[in-house]
Amino acid sequence: MKTKVTFSKYALLAVIPALMLAGCGKQPVKGKADATSAGADSLKAIADANVNLPFDIKEGKRLFSRYCGVCHGESGDGTGQYYGSSLQPTPANFTDKAFMKTMTDEALTRSITGGSASVGKSNMCPPWGKTFESDEIECLVAYIKTFSK
Ligand code: HEC
């Protein structure tokens, strides 16, 4: 008899957390698992898409997403999520082939390094020459040019 009481006490102790998990934990845990596997899938997709890119494009892409995409847009079309549509003038559209044809590597490098004001335009594109090494700016130039290809 004593053994049985002890057993059911333990059984009850074991059941309570199980119920708590089933009741409250199940949905969030499932959701979390889904989100994690979706995250892993999209990370893998990004890794797959990047694996064959030359280093300068890969590095340019990384820097661009971090520093330029807010204004120029992740796809380079000048409609960045945060500032793209509210800036005057609007951020340069790197998918515009006609515009990009007018921009040599040297001109792009100069604009990026000194900011748009340094090439006689507005002061809306900040100077990046103190943020990046010149080889990083080369990577940005290489990457920006991929939008109009
Ligand atoms: C705060 C928003 C903003 C950010 C951040 C920004 N830009 Fe710009 N960018 C602009 C705007 C606005 C223009 C258009 C300026 C003009 O035409 O007067 C522009 C223009 C340019 C141009 C064309 C310049 C020219 O001579 O016509 C280049 C190249 C450029 N940006 C590169 C970059 C790069 C590379 C980064 C990231 C390292 C970056 N921008 C980050 C807003 C931004």
- pLDDT tens per residue, range 79-88: 998 765 678 8
Q: Is the CB of 108 under 6 A from ligand 1?
A: yes
Contact, 115 vs 125, CB < 8 A? Answer: yes
| Inter-CA distances, 65 with 2, 26, 56, 60, 102, Å | 67, 36, 14, 9, 24
CATH topology of domain 55-146: Cytochrome Bc1 Complex; Chain D, domain 2 (1.10.760)
Test site for ligand 1: of 116, 137, 140, most ligand atoms within 8 A of the Cβ: 116
In angstroms, the CA 84 to CA 55 distance is 28
What is the value of pTM for the model shown?
Answer: 0.75
In angstroms, the CA 74 to CA 95 distance is 11
- pLDDT tens per residue, range 82-115: 765 678 899 999 999 999 999 999 999 999 999 9
